[in-house]
Amino acid sequence: MAQINPSILSADFARLAEEARRVEGSDGVAGADWLHVDVMDNHFVPNLTLGPPVVESLRRATDIPLDCHLMIEEPDRWAPGYVEAGAGSVTFHAEAAAAPVRLAREIRAKGARASMALKPATPIEPYEDLLPELDMLLVMTVEPGFGGQAFLDIMLPKIRRTRQLIDKHGLEMWLQVDGGVSASTIERCAEAGADVFVAGSAVYGAEDPAAAVRALRRQAEEAAGPGREG
Ligand SMILES: O=C(CO)[C@@H](O)[C@H](O)COP(=O)(O)O
């Protein structure tokens, strides 16, 4: 089943709890699967957002699970604190981690899903042996740092190759894409093998964000076909 994770980078930071609730399901209507929390340190990327205290407050204010994407240096030092703050999934960048296997094991041992992200220029192949240590692999489809950028369709072959490696090893892990995911790009991502979709402006820029989430999920599931649904 396709999962849709709205990115709070496109939300109103003065009203985060309310923005989280706008994409949560209500009255039996399915909403977003996870809330994607963009953590930026102004070093790994040229933008600055939030840290563990905000994650902790969001955890208390909403029921939706938190998918924290750490676009920061020294994730080996800081990532465990995000699990303690209440993240259900923590993604660190391959380019920043000193010891990715040890870090993934620590995140899992603390009780969260462990995930690793690749910037557009970072290939998946050197990380093949590491995949069993992860619950999710994130292929960035824009340069990390800002919402609202154009989808890099030259990332589609990397999504396809990553899916092939996951299937080759018989892994249950998820394949996430992030950046420029919208009604006009999500089908290509799903066809290439992605099953978790981060969408910022396509959700929070819509008049009805919860309806945008449902429409994106429907498109992704139709594009993936019966092989990947349910
Ligand atoms: O991590 C990032 C950007 O670095 C993303 O999560 C964006 O925030 C997604 O926004 P859209 O491209 O969907 O507007």
The answer on pLDDT for 228 being more than 70 is no
Under 8 Å between Cβ of 59 and 83 = no
Query: 3-224 domain in CATH 1.20.1540.10?
Result: no
DSSP string, 9-40: GGS-GGGHHHHHHHHS-BTTB---S-EEEEEE
User: 38 an active-site residue?
Assistant: yes
**Helix (H) / strand (E) containing 211:** helix 209-224
Known binding-site residues for substrate equal: 7, 69, 145-148, 178-180, 200-201
Give the pLDDT mean for 208-213: 94
Under 8 Å between Cβ of 72 and 39 = yes
pLDDT tens digits for 62-120? 999 999 999 999 999 999 999 999 999 999 999 999 999 999 999 999 999 999 999 99
The answer on pLDDT for 229 being more than 60 is no
pLDDT tens digits for 31-55? 999 999 999 999 999 999 999 999 9
User: 67 an active-site residue?
Assistant: no
The answer on pLDDT for 146 being more than 70 is yes
Ligand 1 center to 200 CA (angstroms): 5
Tell which residue, 118, 83, 87, 82, has the closest CA to residue 100: 118
pLDDT tens digits for 152-181? 999 999 999 999 999 999 999 999 999 999
Quick one: pLDDT band at residue 27, thresholds 50, 70, 90? low
Give the pLDDT mean for 173-196: 98
Which residue type occupies 99?
Answer: A
Domain definitions of the chain by residue range: 3-224
DSSP state of 7: B
Tell which residue, 199, 121, 194, has the closest CA to residue 159: 194
The interface pTM score, or ipTM, of the predicted complex is 0.98
Tell which residue, 183, 162, 182, has the closest CA to residue 173: 162
Quick one: pLDDT band at residue 226, thresholds 50, 70, 90? confident
The answer on pLDDT for 26 being more than 80 is no
Alpha helices in 62-171 (DSSP H): 75-85, 100-109, 156-168
The answer on pLDDT for 185 being more than 80 is yes
Spot the catalytic one: 38, 41, 67, 135. Answer: 38
Give the pLDDT mean for 204-219: 95
Give the pLDDT mean for 195-223: 96
Give the pLDDT mean for 4-12: 97
CA distance readout (Å), 141 to 25, 36, 79, 209: 27, 15, 22, 21
DSSP state of 48: B
C-alpha–C-alpha distance, residues 178 and 194, integer Å: 10
C-alpha–C-alpha distance, residues 89 and 173, integer Å: 12
Quick one: pLDDT band at residue 126, thresholds 50, 70, 90? very high
The answer on pLDDT for 230 being more than 90 is no
Ligand 1 center to 132 CA (angstroms): 26
C-alpha–C-alpha distance, residues 188 and 202, integer Å: 16
pLDDT of residue 198: 98
Ligand 1 center to 102 CA (angstroms): 27
pLDDT of residue 225: 82
C-alpha–C-alpha distance, residues 145 and 160, integer Å: 24
